[in-house]
Structure 1
Amino acid sequence: MPKWNAGRTVTAVALGLVALGCARPGAGDGDAATLPSTVSQPSSVPPASVPTDGAGDQAPPPGDGAPHQAENNGWKQRHELTAEEQRAGDALAARIRPALTGLRASGDFAPASTRRVLLALGLATEDVQVNEMRTPPGTVFAVTFPEAGCVIGDVRPERVLVEVTGAAAEFGCLEPFTH
């Protein structure tokens, strides 16, 4: 017959109590706290109503933008070009692109050089706007053409960008730098 070992018995009993949960703080001492349950219970709170856009239609989910982001950015809306304006802009862009590509190839990204190249194309001084880029080194430009069109873009070490777009009522061709 095996000999009785008091140390093993005490250890076994303590482990048994822990395993059964009897050693849980507050168990059986009148504590009314309950453990979290994974079983969901019906809620007495009604579900949230679906937001609408004011016309009774379901509004899009909020996402990353502010609730009035479209309204807040309305000043950035550009004139939609007619087919005739688009053709005029495309023709102007076709004249501008090679001149600025040559400037980039020479490694010259200075605003004064960009202005000089654009004016050498016969563009009116009042139709040309040129600003220095903050980073990377380079120049942003805009050329206005009738009625409300713009050829905008930039010259920087890695590219020449030339785009045709409409002017914005608030600022014209080049969006102001705000930060």
Structure 2
Amino acid sequence: MRESLGWRGAAGLVALSMLAGCAGRPAAGPVFPAPEPSVTVSASAPVDPRPPGDGPPHYTDNSNWKQRHELTAAERKEGDRLAGRIRPALAELRAAGDFAPESTRRALLGLGLAADRVGVTAMRKPSWSDEVPVGAVFEVRFGTAGCVTGDVRPERLLVDVSGAAAEFGCLEPYTH
């Protein structure tokens, strides 16, 4: 077949197969250097820190309402001290097998916390289940923007210290 194409036809096939990435090393013929690739970098283009995917284009802007107050060292210390008082009281409830929201509220108020700074609700039913989990979710607000939040349930006791969100406070609202 090469004989019928001539040297120009054979060179054309080699060039096409090299462009298509299908050829190994050519059997014979001249080798031409490839041109240097051109790269343009724009310093003014903003870079999205999220990996590429199918997320919404303004995810960061749309999620700003969830941003929490950054605790100062003094606020963190106050929150940790409060969490240290809350944890044993709720661990005692958990050990007794008492996961009722009313019991959780009584235990928190029994620590001398102000009633208007304490919130307790029942666990919410997850969207993938028909059963409401056993347990209680709580929030205790401290200072101007601090939160001790968590839950008491058969499998765990969670006590966390964080800053409040300007939009909703300590506990993120239930949306589903």
TM over 0.5: yes
The CA distance in 1 between the partners of 2:79 and 2:58, in whole Å, is: 32
Secondary structure of the structure 2 residue equivalent to 1:118: helix
* Residue 65 (structure 1) shift: 2.6
RMSD over equivalenced CA pairs, Å = 2.3
Structure 2 residues not aligned, in runs of 5+: 1-16, 22-39, 125-131
SS state at 2:150 partner? strand
Aligned to 1:167: 164
Runs of 4+ residues over 3 Å off in structure 1: 38-42, 57-61
Residue type of the partner of 1:117?
A: A
State the Cα distance separating 1:64 from its structure 2 match: 4.8
Match of 1:178 in 2: 175
Report the alpha carbon displacement of residue 136 of structure 1 after superposing the two structures with TM: 2.2
- Written as runs of structure 1 = structure 2, the 5 A alignment for 1:1-179 is 41=20, 55-60=44-49, 61-134=51-124, 135-179=132-176
Give the number of the structure whose alpha-carbon radius of gyration is greater. Answer: 1
* Ranges in structure 1 where 5+ consecutive residues have no aligned partner: 1-37, 43-49
The percent of aligned pairs where both chains have the same amino acid is 63
Verify the 8 A CA contact 1:148 1:166 in the aligned structure 2.
yes
Report how many aligned residue pairs link the two structures. 133
Q: Give the TM-score, by structure 1 length.
A: 0.68
Structure-2 separation of matches of 1:133 and 1:39: 64
Contact 1:75 1:168 in 2 (8 A): yes
Secondary structure in 1 matching 2:147:
strand
- Work out the CA distance in 2 between the residues paired with 1:160 and 1:84: 25
Q: Is the 8 A contact 1:85 1:146 kept in 2?
A: yes
TM-score calculated relative to the size of structure 2? 0.69
User: Is the 1:85–1:147 Cα contact (8 Å) retained in structure 2?
Assistant: no
Give the 3 Å change call, closer, same or farther, for CA 97–74 of structure 1 in structure 2: same
